[in-house]
Amino acid sequence: AALAKSVDDLGKRGRDAAYGYGRINVAKGLGL
């Protein structure tokens, strides 16, 4: 949770093919 939060906080806002809308979603990005 802490790692996911840290990466999410550092993620760019916007649209991304892998991560979808908003900030990077680690779980979605890893396919979990």
Q: Provide the domain limits for residue 24.
A: 1-32
- Look up residue 24 and give its DSSP letter: -
Mean per-residue pLDDT, 8-31: 58
Instruction: Dig out the tokens for 2 from the structure.
Output: 């802490």
The structural domain count of the chain equals 1
| CA–CA distances in Å: residue 20 to residues 3, 8, 14, 15, 32 | 19, 13, 8, 6, 14
Q: What percent of the chain has a predicted confidence (pLDDT) above 90?
A: 0
Q: What is the pLDDT of residue 4?
A: 53
Q: Is the pLDDT of residue 7 over 50?
A: yes
